[in-house]
Amino acid sequence: MNRSIDRVMAYFEKISSIPRCSKDETRVAAWIKQWADENQFAWKSDTAGNLVIQVPGRGASDQAPPIILQGHMDMVCEKTPDSPHDFKKDPLTLITVGEWLHADRTTLGADNGIALALAMAAATDTGLVHPPLELLFTVDEETGLTGAEKLGPDMLSGKVLINMDSEIEGTFIVGCAGGQDMEVSMTVKPEEVHPPMACWEITVGGLHGGHSGVDIHRNRANANLVLADTLKVLGKVAPLQLRSFIGGSAHNAIPRDARALVIAPRDGAQALEEQLAACRAGWQAAFAHTDANLEIKLQAVTSPAFDKALNLSETQKVLALILAMPHGVAGLSNIWQGVVETSGNLARVQLEGGRLTLMCSLRSSDESRLDEIAARVSAVALLACAQTCVVKRYPAWEVDLDSDLLARCRKRYSALFSEEANVEVMHAGLECGVIGAKFAGMEMISIGPTLEHPHSPQERLHLPAVGKVWDFLEALLKDYAA
């Protein structure tokens, strides 16, 4: 790698040493402010915690307008069950294998730490010609674009924004889906269970998971649905009563793990184990190509002789509600071939005590289709006598194929690499949709190095792609500096 790329990766390593899960960006923000002060860059912050660092132009025309380089400070914090990592205090452990960078059994956080590193490197590279820059670093993107939604109206003066949160080098993203997160909840009534009964823990794990927007078309297994369906089948050989059910974590991650505690007659152990073996074999065959490490386990646990659990009817009602929630691709775009238009992700399930809560993450590039799938969630909840609540809704980013920014990007990319860049829309939500709705007339594009398996411990960053993105960014900024 050349010295400029070394600078980018040095910044990324420092960023990776600072805990920055969503809603916990205070420490990384403090470090960025310190960095700005050391480099004599003015900065400002709004009440949400978003940062804008103002970088003077270098070798640019006096009339050159500012360019906004944008990324988000937070990351999805996911790890494997055997990882001892504490996201509240531990630095990430970075590992290079060939041309790829990943972390030790955790998410890498290149989504979107690499954007911060690229922007900071551009600001401090004395050999880089560029117009005035506004580095916009937002908070809490991963839990629902919260930082962008709360972005102060006086934070930006530029009218051209380069978002660096897309994940395929050589592809320009010019539009994205909007979304809605819905919570479904209902009160349940655990009842006392009398002996002779026993308690078992049933776990689903080893799934691939992934980003609920970027990876939803890959038809990977959802741990919540696998577990609920398995429990339903096991209930046919032994009367099962649910004590608890916990699965999934982030609203925008396909659930990789889920576990349930159930009460059943002591003499049903052999039947449960035999039926579970059949379920396991069936699921492993069904997802052999997407979730090769899928595992389902049954383990007896100690339990009080007189415990509480849902009765048989309530158990079946809860499982039916989980299984009825929309998950996966609901429709493809009629405009962009092969692109998902509408989807759902049953992101989280939590049954503890007397409360069941489900989180459904819905996406669509068509507002009417988003309303349609949301209505389906509400209808299913109504049939189960459950309540629904809209936690978050965010707008789609509408495509503008005639923008000057897109024309410049295509021209610079072609001149640099002697090939044409792809122009696409993406199913995942990007902050561009929210920012564009706040700042009228903003030209936007999203770029980024190749990143695989975001939002999962398999996340990895292609290092040569970082170099290509840097070279492109350098050429584009020089073009705007003229």
pLDDT (tens digit, 9 = 90+) per residue, 405-457?
999 999 999 999 999 999 999 898 899 999 999 999 999 999 999 999 988 89
| Mean pLDDT of the region 176-191 | 95
Catalytic pick among 25, 74, 140, 149: 74
pLDDT number for residue 353: 86
Q: What angle do CA 472, 401, 56 make, to 5 degrees?
A: 40
Q: Which of 394, 413, 441 is the last residue of a domain?
A: 394
Does 319 lie in the same domain as 205? yes
Tell me: do 203 and 102 sit in the same domain: no
Q: Supply the range of the domain harboring residue 184.
A: 180-394
Residues in contact with 471: Cβ distance below 8 Å, sequence separation at least 6, in sequence order? 416
Query: pLDDT for 63-120, tens place per residue?
Result: 889 999 999 999 999 999 899 999 999 999 999 999 999 999 999 999 999 999 999 9
Listed residues 338, 370, 394: the one ending a domain: 394
- Asked if 60 and 197 sit in the same domain, the reply is no
For residues 459-463, average pLDDT: 97
* CB-CB contact of 78 with 455 (8 Å): yes
Q: What is the pLDDT of residue 295?
A: 97
Indicate which residue of 78, 141, 167, 257 is catalytic: 141
Domain count, the chain: 2
% pLDDT > 70, the chain: 98
Helix axes 463-481, 3-16, angle to 10 degrees: 110
Average pLDDT over residues 184-193: 94
Q: Is residue 318 located within the same domain as residue 354?
A: yes
Q: What angle do CA 164, 170, 174 make, to 5 degrees?
A: 55
**How far does CA 103 lie from the centroid of its chain?**
17
CATH number at residue 324: 3.30.70.360
Residue 227 has pLDDT above 90, yes or no: yes
- Residue 50 CB contacts under 8 Å (≥ 6 apart), including other chains: 136, 137, 138, 139, 147, 148, 150, 151, 152, 155
Residue 367 sits in the same domain as residue 282: yes
Average pLDDT on 256-281 reads 94
The pLDDT assigned to 463 comes to 96
The pLDDT value given to residue 211: 87
- One domain for residues 375 and 447: no
**Per the structure block, which two tokens stand in for 475?**
């050429």
More confident residue, 15 or 339: 15
Active site residue 24: no
pLDDT exceeds cutoff 80 at 331: yes
Do 315 and 245 belong to one domain? Answer: yes
For residues 130 and 128, what is the distance between their CA atoms, to the nearest angstrom?
6
Predicted local confidence at residue 384, as pLDDT? 96
**Mean pLDDT computed over every residue of the chain:** 94
Question: Do residues 140 and 210 share a domain?
Answer: no
pLDDT value, residue 305: 60
Tell me the residue length of the chain: 482
pTM for this one? 0.79
Confidence of residue 280 (pLDDT cuts 50, 70, 90): very high
Residue 199 and residue 69 share a domain: no
pLDDT at 380 over 90: yes
> Quick check: 459 and 111 in contact, CB under 8 A?
yes
Q: Quick check: 3 pLDDT over 80?
A: no
Contact (Cβ atoms closer than 8 angstroms) between residue 136 and residue 52: yes
Quick one: pLDDT at residue 197? 86
Report the CATH number at residue 50: 3.40.630.10
Of 394, 424, 451, the one marking the end of a domain is: 394
141 is catalytic: yes
Q: In the structure, what pLDDT confidence band is assigned to residue 143 with cuts at 50, 70 and 90?
A: confident
Q: Is the same domain home to 387 and 400?
A: no
What residue type is 361 in one-letter code? S
pLDDT at 183 over 80: yes
Distance CA 54, CA 137 (A): 12
Given a cut of 90, is residue 303 above it in pLDDT? no
Do 385 and 260 reside in the same domain of the chain? yes
Per-residue pLDDT at 61: 82
Q: Which run of H or E residues covers position 104?
A: none
Cis amide linkage into residue 311, ω under 30° from 0: no
Nearest CA to 35 out of 22, 18, 23 is that of 18
Same domain, 369 and 431: no
